[in-house]
Amino acid sequence: MPKSITASVGLLGKNFTADTLTVQNLLNNVPINLGGPNPLLDPDGKCGNKTCTAIQMFQLKHFGWSGADGRVDPGGITLTMLNAYSPDPIIPQPQPQPQPEALSDDYIIWLRFTKGKFFSHPYDPKEFVFTAIDMTNQRRASYGLKFNGKVGTAAPDSGSGGQIARIKLKKPTTVSGLAGQAVYQTVIKKGSGPAAERLESKLFVVLEGNMMLTAKLGCHLLKPGPDGESVSGATDPSATPMSIDGQFHYNLNGSFVKL
């Protein structure tokens, strides 16, 4: 049967005598080339520097520095790995069934474009890359707006900048379930003053069940014209201009795909 301990052994552990003796014997069963102590530990039930070092060296061999905390915990991965070298047979345990991906209706849509408020012309799919963040379960996924048969690559999941919108969906879904037909739209809103100051842009994605994801983002398909008051860029062949109720809409159609 696998050996067990009642409390932690090693650095900052409880270091009960019986538990320490169990860990010392388990460590001595490990071959030297696989992280066992050299020389062998004296199984005296006392957790001193040699025992703590032996624990850490075993962890370093199997888990790397990030897993080398110098302590063996009841039911922990270090104890499980030590038991793998025990001469006692280990009874296979049933593998846990994978859990379904968590659902959420609270997301941040992070457009990773960092060059300002206006996309390049002609449009580059590498600029239409997003990170979706599940705020309920703290999970992330990378997405891209695919158009003209092309899509960008996932951006490193760090850094700052870009455009962020927090959205609430009508029905919970998974962070991997946000793909669908999409349009990035820039509108010149009704009103007075320079057209370049009346731009509003949104990403629309039609999700499963015809649920709509709508994210208002501060990066626009159109750019200020030479006079600083009009806008230009409506000739880009990737997008479609149209007028609805006196407002000018500029639509970049594609699909929102998981990268």
Question: What is the DSSP track for 55-101?
Answer: HHHHHHHHH-GGG--SEE-TT-HHHHHHHTTSSSPPPPPPPPPPPPP
Average pLDDT, the chain: 90
| DSSP code for 147 | B
Contact 178, 107 (CB under 8 A): yes
List the one residue out of 246, 29, 27, 255 whose CA is nearest residue 145: 255
Residue 194 CA to residue 176 CA, distance in Å, equals 40
State the Cα–Cα distance between residues 252 and 121, nearest whole angstrom.
12
The percent of residues in the chain predicted with pLDDT above 90, rounded, is 67
Domain boundary among 83, 114, 130: 83
In whole angstroms, what is the distance from residue 91 CA to residue 89 CA? 6
> For residue 91, what pLDDT is reported?
65
Binned at pLDDT 50, 70 and 90, residue 223 comes out as: confident
Average pLDDT over residues 154-170: 89
Distance of alpha carbon 22 from alpha carbon 127, whole angstroms? 57
Distance CA 259, CA 257 (A): 6
The reply to whether 91 falls in a domain is no
Domain extent, residue 113, equals 104-258
Q: What is the pLDDT of residue 100?
A: 87
Q: What share of the chain is helix, strand, coil (3-state, %, to 5)?
A: 20, 35, 50
pLDDT grade for 155, boundaries at 50, 70 and 90: confident
Indicate whether 55 belongs to any domain. Answer: yes
List Cβ neighbours of 225 (8 Å cut-off, separation of 6 or more).
Answer: 196, 231, 232
Task: Based on the fold, state whether residues 30 and 115 are members of the same structural domain.
Answer: no
Q: What is the pTM of this model?
A: 0.61
Residue-level pLDDT at 234 = 61
If one counts the domains in the chain, the total is 2
Q: Is the pLDDT of residue 88 over 70?
A: no
Residues 75 and 128 in one domain: no
The reply to whether 76 and 117 lie within a common domain is: no
CA 242-244-250 angle, to 5 degrees, is: 35
Residue 47 lies in a domain: yes
61 and 117 in a common domain: no
Distance (Å, whole) CA 26 – CA 44: 13
The C-alpha angle with vertex 148 and arms to 168 and 226, in degrees rounded to 5, equals: 85
Structure tokens belonging to residue 254: 């594609």
pLDDT exceeds 90 at position 203: yes
Map residue 122 onto helix, strand or coil: coil
Rounded mean pLDDT of 58-83? 91
The pLDDT value given to residue 90 = 55
| In a domain? residue 197 | yes
Is residue 108 included in any domain, yes or no? yes
Q: Are residues 127 and 238 in the same domain?
A: yes
Q: What is the pLDDT of residues 9-35, one digit of tens each?
A: 999 999 999 999 999 999 999 999 989
Q: Is the pLDDT of residue 157 over 80?
A: no
Whether 195 and 111 share a structural domain: yes
